[in-house]
Amino acid sequence: MNIAGPRRTVKAAFEAEGAKLPIADILPVKLIAEAIKKTPKYARIAASIREIGLVEPVVVGRDRSSPGKFLLLDGHLRLEALREMGSVEVMCLISTDDEAFTYNKRINRLAIIQEHRMILKAIERGVPEERIARSLNIEIGTLRMRKSLLSGICAEAIDLLKDKDVAISTFAILRKMAPIRQIEAAELMSAMNQFSTTYATSLLAATPKEQLSQPNKPKVVKGITTEQMELMERESANLEREFKLAAQSYGEDHLDFVLARGYLSKLLGNARIVRHLAQYHQEFLSEFQQIVDVKDVTA
């Protein structure tokens, strides 16, 4: 007797073969501002495409309301770089279900730690350093510095900062701290959403000598006197206590914002809604995306 239930088929996420599509037939669902085109990340993507071509195809879904047209699901910066280079076609993977892509999945952010790991993986595979540097649009010396980026940084601090946009020089400052202080500094930077060298320097200045990686050496911070550092240590201890108390309770405005952001995130996870906004209300789509893009609202 056959007791097995009805056999179910698994639907493929993409059409069997990729396709070269006209860029003019692809509708982006995220607007690329001119300011984004001036960022180092965009420059690296453009340099990589010029140097070694498009490594990863963009992902599109068929526009059900406009036959022959496609909705861009992933690869907005790649497509914009190709467009600016004068390309008229792009290699695409065609999704069979545009509802499977949420707004958050359509955003690619390459944090500095992720880039570091990518560099190490490429070197392990035998890719020459010169070629990696060209693809990232950086000097060979900068590449070698990024290769040793996490030397002296404890695993817990790395985990806290792994997806953050941290300044490279910030890691050199963290190395001057003992592991336990590195973790505290990483937590404070994440809570304040502030990863600049200036902020890291202020945390170093406020670090007691016993929490430095070399506590027996005099603590020297450029531009800050010993008296100022002692004052900063005392004030920092007070501020950290007050901050932890404030972090235990959120105001009603903050709660309202979190709820609104969550609602908008769900709206932008619906491809039909995104398609409609992109076609008829781009100004609303841009504002909604900016709200959803706000980082660490619950930190």
Residue 65 has pLDDT above 50, yes or no: yes
Tens digit of each residue's pLDDT (9 = 90 or more) over 68-81: 888 888 888 999 99
- Section 283-294 average pLDDT: 83
Whole-model pTM? 0.47
Query: Concatenated DSSP letters for 46-59?
Result: HHHHHHH---S-EE
Q: Which two tokens stand for residue 72?
A: 């861009």
Question: What is the reported pLDDT for 107?
Answer: 41
Residues 6+ apart with CB under 8 A from 76: 28, 30, 32, 106
Tell me the per-residue pLDDT of 243-260, one tens digit each, with 9 for 90 and over. 666 555 555 566 677 778
Model confidence over 192-205: pLDDT tens digits?
A: 788 888 888 888 88
d(CA 35, CA 41): 11
Q: What is the pLDDT of residues 210-220, one digit of tens each?
A: 899 998 887 76
Query: Is the pLDDT score of 85 beyond 90?
Result: yes
Indicate the DSSP class of residue 14. Answer: B
Angle subtended at Cα 113 by Cα 185 and Cα 146, rounded to the nearest 5 degrees: 105
